[in-house]
């Protein structure tokens, strides 16, 4: 592995995402073997579903892609936006390119995932055509209004906070 002064290091299942003091990003396996060298991407998110968002800034501006734990681009770095999925308990994310939005299923990008898994921990928002911005606003508002007293926002909550008084 390259000799660097690490600013931060976060471990996800089988890999570590490292930021050095030059604000460059890298990925190693748990033994420290280099998977993605510093400087290949301008930023690397954490891994979820064995996948991580990455971005690079070039002559066309900031472009996004997705890599797997082997450092392979499973979605090329050519998208205008890829919605955050780290820790969101979703089976898919939304990608935007040239004004068009599409859903991308993690099981299509990572064949190690079982697409038939009905894990109760995941809410498949795409299947119900949720408005992500509205849902995220309601979830943030729920957290702020209830201050954690009532747990997580219940499924199907419609944004009516009148019951709080």
| C-alpha to C-alpha distance for 142 and 46, rounded to whole angstroms | 25
pTM for the model stands at: 0.67
- The domains of the chain, with CATH numbers, are 6-116 (2.40.128), 131-165 (no CATH)
For residue range 53-108, list pLDDT tens digits in order: 999 998 888 999 999 999 999 999 999 999 999 998 888 999 999 999 999 999 99
CA-closest candidate to residue 38, choices 85, 78, 6: 6
Residues with Cβ within 8 Å of 6's Cβ and at least 6 positions away in sequence, in order, are: 18, 19, 20, 21
Question: How many other CB atoms are found less than 10 A from the CB of residue 67?
Answer: 25
Which of 6-10, 25-29, 103-107, 130-134 has the highest average model confidence (pLDDT)? 25-29
What is 92-119 written as a DSSP string? EEEEEETTEEEEEEHHHH-TTS-TT---
pLDDT tier for residue 113 given thresholds of 50, 70 and 90: confident
Question: How many other CB atoms are found less than 10 A from the CB of residue 99?
Answer: 6
């Amino acid at each position: 592995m390259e000799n660097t002064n690490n600013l931060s290091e976060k471990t996800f299942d089988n890999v570590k995402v490292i930021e050095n003091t030059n604000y460059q990003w890298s990925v190693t396996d748990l033994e420290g073997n280099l998977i993605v060298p510093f400087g290949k991407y301008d930023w690397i998110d954490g891994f979820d579903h064995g996948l991580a968002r990455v971005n690079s800034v070039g002559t066309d501006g900031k472009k996004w892609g997705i890599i797997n734990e082997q450092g392979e681009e499973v979605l090329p770095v050519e998208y205008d936006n890829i919605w955050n999925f780290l820790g969101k308990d979703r089976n898919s994310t939304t990608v935007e390119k040239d004004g068009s939005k599409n859903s991308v299923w993690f099981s299509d990008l990572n064949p190690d995932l079982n697409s038939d898994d009905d894990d109760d921990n995941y809410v498949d928002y795409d299947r119900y055509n949720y408005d992500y911005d509205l849902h995220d606003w309601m979830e943030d508002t729920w957290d702020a209004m209830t201050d954690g007293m009532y747990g997580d926002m219940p499924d199907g909550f419609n944004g009516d906070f009148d019951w709080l008084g």
